Amino acid sequence: MARIGVFVCQCGNNIAAEVRTAEVAEKLKDVPGVVHAEDARFYCSNPGQEQIRKMIKEHNLDGLIVSACSPHMHEKTFRKAAETAGLNPFRVEIANIREHCSWVHHDPTKDLGTEKAGDIARMMVERVKRDRPLSKIKIPVTKRALVIGGGVAGIQAALDIADGGREVVLVEREPSIGGHMAQLSETFPTMDCSQCILTPKMVEAYQHPNIRLVTYAEVEKVDGYIGNFTVTIRKKAKSIVEENCTECGECIDKCPIKATSQFEMGMTKRKAMYIPFPQAVPGVPVIDRNACPKYVKDMSKCGLCAKVCGPQCIDFDQQDTFETVNVGAIVVATGYDVMPAENFPEFSGGKSKDVITGLHFERLASASGPTGGEIKRPSDGKVPETVVFIECSGSRDERRGVSYCSAICCMYSAKHAMLYKHKAHHGQAYIFYMDIRCGGKRYEEFHRRAVEQEGAIYLRGRVSRVYPRDGRLVVQGADTLVGSQVEIEADMVVLATAVVPRLGSKDLAQRLGIGYDQYGFYNEYHPKLKPVETVTGGIFLSGACIGPMDVPTAVAQGSAVAAKVLGLFSNDEMAREPIVAEVNRTTCNACWDCLVACPYKAIEREAIKNRQGEVLRYVARVNEGVCMGCGVCVAACHSKTIDLKGYSDAQVYAALAAV
């Protein structure tokens, strides 16, 4: 016979206002198997826990019900308390009589609340009678991390994990690490040169003995589970034998073919043999096969690069290769894109070269950019006398863009206005805005500086259209503070276009098995309390792949995620909750509905063999490392072969029968 104790918590007045807890305890004593029941003011307090421990020993309890708040709050507390008193923690259940009873009902007589609380507790008694003692699952951990994306968030994560003594494989899609931060001119609010503060980190990552850079590569396939991932990386053909390249740059000098530079936002050309920017890491060039005549025309043409290459490392026939790495954790840091100007035909985006995005302006203001840091408009190279900046282009716009705020535009537009004023002293900057959202440290002061010291004129309103007239751009908007239409003849228009997820973010999420929102930003496990975790164990997030964010936040996330990964790597094995599905091998008829239904790919095919090693049949098996205990397979199983530990059918039916 079971020996169960019931502890009914008053939770101050939270429960006691609706429930006569002493009466509930008294009635529960009549339930077969309950040998002790009592109530108290706060069981989560230290004396409360001590009382539970004392009663376990005094009554030799083998099961426990705490009738209290939601298990999300204190299930862990009470299980731990029971464990220290020698009881298996999985024979402790919470009867939620606060969120499920006292908080959601009101009856001045307390009769209804008392009755319902008793019902809930009785249900849990029947459950706990059928609770098997479980022990935590142990999983081996491969102490190597994969970081996907070599922007500042990924670099920071890689550096901190590597400094913690663990190996890191850093995969980057482009030929160089650096991400969008490498494109920025100066950074708000301190105005330090972006490349000056980023390139040391890039070089450090390159030289770090624990970091291996795999550039011009993408994650093709991910198998396994927390602590034990197997990742296939596609290394795109660089057409260079990387190991032999001395990064001398001779091939780039001799290459006669020009192609559009994506790094410079299409505002200048680079060679077909190229590194994206001078400080690229690694400095190994790649051949752009969409531009090189060896590929777009016929193989015999050109080949100048191969002729001048000293170490003879040009390989025109090189193919994409695949590499498999085993890692224990994956950090996703794939960053963001900005909406292209072409999305805004009403602003003449894509039609006028002088209607550009904020990223274009960063390149124009950058000393290493296409204009050498002078603000010259793309159409004719003239220094613009009037520049109009349009905030919220596509942000907070349900019709043409996204409903969210892109978070960084208020600050960078203020920065742009300042940079423009510094570089073109007689120029006038106008900024159309809806709200100024400068909530970061020293951000508001920065914005006011743009107004009070740099003379930027802020206009409170949106722009309706921008159209060309006599070589200039007419900006037609409103200033709602005056309540009037505003028209400005500008030489250049800079659109602060919406921050959107990186192209292909949803594909990658599906390969990784992580969640994403309607836009393609990745979902955190919990937006406040687990901001860099995903619901999939062992896969973490860092930077703007989660949502629009500035450099300081992305760097902080890189470090946060490193702490999580190093924590995971601090033991040879990791323990996890044993609430997982289990298969009854004798009744499984191998229909594989569970395998199809499982969202975590936790169901495997297991071969049942005879003594001679011949396969007799196959049955489903749950990989306990991967299973999240969601129960979808249980619902899908026709033969009632799968049960969820701690939530078996027998327990559920018994609980229901108790009311």
Partner 1 sequence: MKIPYYPGCTLSTVAQDFDRSARQSIRDLGVELEELSKWNCCGTSFPLTPENVIGLAGPGNVLIQAKKAGGTVSTLCSFCYNTLRRTNNTLKSDAGRRDVLASFLETDGLGDVKVLHLLEVLRDQVGFAEVKAKVVRPLKGLKVAAYYGCMLLRPADAAIDHPESPKIFEDFLTALGATPVDWPNRGECCGSHLAMSETDLVKRLSGSILSSAQACGADLLTTSCPLCWHNLVKSQEAILRDEGKETVLPVIYFTQILGLALGEGPEALGIADGVMGAGSVLKAKGLWPAAVPAGGKA
Partner 2 sequence: MKITLGPAGPSQSFARLVESLSGEDLSKCYQCGNCTGGCPVSFAMDIAPSQVIRMVQLGQEETVLRSNAIWRCVSCLQCYSRCPKCVDLSRIMESLRRLSLRRGHEPVTVYALPDEFIRRSPQMALVAGFRKLVP
Q: Between vectors from CA 69 to CA 71 and to CA 82, what angle results, nearest 5°?
A: 60
Check binding of 162 to partner 2 (CB under 8 A).
no
Strand order in the sheet with 428-433: 355-357, 492-497, 386-393, 428-433, 457-460
Please, what is the minimum distance in Å from the beta carbon of residue 231 to partner 2?
41
Q: How far, CA to CA in Å, does 386 sit from each of 157, 325, 369, 378? A: 41, 53, 21, 14
Helix (H) or strand (E) run with residue 381 in it = none
Which residue is associated with the tokens 């994306």?
149
Check binding of 317 to partner 1 (CB under 8 A).
no
Partner touching 468 among partner 1, partner 2, none, CB below 5 to 8 Å by kind: partner 1
The span from the first CA to the last CA of the chain, in angstroms, equals: 21
Closer to partner 1 by Cβ: residue 467 or 653: 467
- Answer for which of 425, 426, 469, 528 binds partner 1 (CB under 8 A) is 469
Segment near partner 1 (CB under 8 A), from 115-123, 175-183, 193-201, 464-472?
Answer: 464-472
Partner touching 512 among partner 1, partner 2, none, CB below 5 to 8 Å by kind: none
User: How far apart are alpha carbons 318 and 238 in whole angstroms?
Assistant: 8
In the stretch 325-364, what mask flags binding to partner 2 with x, by CB under 8 A?
Answer: ---------------------x------------------
# residues contacting partner 2 (CB under 8 A): 24
Segment near partner 1 (CB under 8 A), from 74-82, 211-219, 460-468, 650-658?
Answer: 460-468
Helix (H) or strand (E) run with residue 93 in it = strand 92-96
Token pair of 198, please?
């980023």
Check binding of 477 to partner 2 (CB under 8 A).
yes
Which residue is associated with the tokens 């939270």?
14
- Answer for which of 317, 398, 470, 487 binds partner 1 (CB under 8 A) is 470
User: How far apart are alpha carbons 44 and 94 in whole angstroms?
Assistant: 12
Q: How far, CA to CA in Å, does 529 sit from each of 15, 541, 564? A: 26, 14, 13
Closer to partner 1 by Cβ: residue 102 or 348: 348
- φ/ψ of 486, rounded to 5, equals -130, 135
Check binding of 461 to partner 2 (CB under 8 A).
yes
- Answer for which of 192, 223, 346, 573 binds partner 1 (CB under 8 A) is 346
| Peptide bond before residue 311 is cis, with ω within 30 degrees of 0 | no
Check binding of 487 to partner 1 (CB under 8 A).
no
Question: 329-332 and 144-148 as β-strands: parallel, antiparallel, unpaired?
Answer: parallel
Q: What is the DSSP letter of 522?
A: B
Segment near partner 2 (CB under 8 A), from 86-94, 170-178, 478-486, 520-528?
Answer: 478-486
Partner touching 483 among partner 1, partner 2, none, CB below 5 to 8 Å by kind: partner 2
Query: Cβ of 389: how many Cβ atoms within 10 Å?
Result: 29
User: How far apart are alpha carbons 368 and 220 in whole angstroms?
Assistant: 34
Check binding of 468 to partner 1 (CB under 8 A).
yes
Token pair of 289, please?
């096969």
> What's the length of the chain?
659
Which residue is associated with the tokens 């940079």?
419
Check binding of 197 to partner 2 (CB under 8 A).
no
Check binding of 464 to partner 1 (CB under 8 A).
no
Closer to partner 1 by Cβ: residue 176 or 343: 343
In the stretch 425-444, what mask flags binding to partner 2 with x, by CB under 8 A?
Answer: ---------x----------
- Answer for which of 30, 398, 470, 614 binds partner 2 (CB under 8 A) is 398
Partner touching 484 among partner 2, partner 1, none, CB below 5 to 8 Å by kind: partner 2
Give the residues lining the site for partner 1 (CB under 8 A): 345-346, 348, 465, 467-470, 474
Give the residues lining the site for partner 2 (CB under 8 A): 346, 392, 396-401, 434, 460-465, 476-480, 483-486
